Amino acid sequence: MTETTVIWPLDLRPAAQAFFIRTNTIRFESPLTGHVQVQERDGARWITQLQLIRGDRDSRRIDALLAALQGPVGYVLMPDFRRLKAKGSLAGSPQLDSGTGNVLSLSGFTPSALGVLLAGDLIQTSEGRTHMVVQNVNADEDGEASVPIAPRLRDPVEEGDLITDNCRVLMRLVDDDAGNNPTDNRLRSTFQLQLLEVLPQE
């Protein structure tokens, strides 16, 4: 990447954060019958919205971080602060083997272990690419598991140890006004940020 890429510091925890997958659908409604058809289109991506209320020292850090990003030009590797660790047991020594579409292939779990991953856990498949487990997952008798995920894979997975802690998504700011920081007389500044996932060109 030639653009600036910033790693969002874990100690800059927001006062509030939304972190979700925005689907991309199209809706058709018949003017004659009122019947509605909804179709999914490609382009589902992670969105995050953050509110930070910080004193002078941290506000200066945030100002500098946002200035380095140059608005939507730069990239930031952003975590979901609600899901910094998986809730599944991760029994064994799980490995990420491969993946295609909306399914990852994992191995190295304790054979027949239950609940190795739970719905809502996050998996990082390569730098900046994070996916949500959408169903509880058990290991089979060989310690392997097929894991349904969202959104779909767009980059090749990086084989190796399974990463489920501090997973991050490659994102950019949505506009040029992110640095707007109303500040009270106690030098406490408020930031309202919105970022969206940077999708690869295909």
Which pLDDT tens digit goes with each residue over 42-75?
789 999 999 999 999 999 999 999 999 999 999 9
Span 9-33, pLDDT tens digits: 999 999 999 999 998 777 778 777 8
pTM over 0.85: yes
Span 96-126, pLDDT tens digits: 999 999 999 999 999 999 999 999 999 999 9
Annotate 85-114 with DSSP letters as a single string.
Answer: S--S---EEEEEEEEETTEEEEEEEPTT-S
For residue 196, the model assigns a pLDDT of: 97
**The two structure tokens encoding residue 114:** 């239950």
Separation of CA 85 from chain center: 13
pLDDT at 8 > cutoff 80 = yes
For residue 2, the model assigns a pLDDT of: 54
For residue 202, the model assigns a pLDDT of: 62
- Tell the CATH topology of 92-161: Elongation Factor Tu (Ef-tu); domain 3 (2.40.30)
Annotate the chain with DSSP letters as a single string.
Answer: --S-EEEPPTTS--SEEEEEEE--EEEEE-TTT--EEEEE-S--EEEEEEEEEE-HHHHHHHHHHHHHHTGGGSEEEEE-TT-SS--S---EEEEEEEEETTEEEEEEEPTT-S-SB-TT-EEEEETTEEEEE-S-B---TTS-EEEEEES---S----EE-B-SS-EEEEEESSS-TT---B-TT--EEEEEEEEE-PPP-
Span 138-184, pLDDT tens digits: 999 999 999 999 999 999 999 999 999 999 999 999 999 999 999 99
Domain ranges (residues) in the chain? 5-81+168-197, 92-161
Span 77-101, pLDDT tens digits: 999 999 999 999 999 999 999 999 9
**The two structure tokens encoding residue 65:** 């971080």
For residue 38, the model assigns a pLDDT of: 73
Are 181 and 59 a contacting pair, CB within 8 Å? yes
pLDDT at 1 > cutoff 50 = no
